Amino acid sequence: MKKVKTKDYQSWKGIMTLKMLCCNIVAGRFNWRKYCTPKSYFGQEICVTPLHCSYGQIGYTVYFPYSNMPEVEYDWEMNQLTIDHENWENYLHN
């Protein structure tokens, strides 16, 4: 039986958290207001920052404090979900 390294487990856990987060955002089940202060989300700490422009809020960014996880950004106007400025489905597929 092959042993799983801690680093491999951490990256697997991070990818699963990203998948759950993105699927919940797309399905409309993610309550972003609840995470404006850092809270645990499926065992990973996250925090949300609203995205604003001159005429109001246009979305939000989810970041993972104290980790090297990528940022997830959801833009309501463009109806676009990205991970590090790349389409979330393409990012998680590779």
pTM: 0.83
Could you report the average pLDDT of every consecutive run of 10 residues in the chain (94 residues)?
46 88 95 95 93 88 92 92 92 79
DSSP letters for 32-89 = GGGGSS-EEETTEEEEEEEEEETTEEEEEEEE-TTS-PPPEEEETTTTEEEETTEEHH
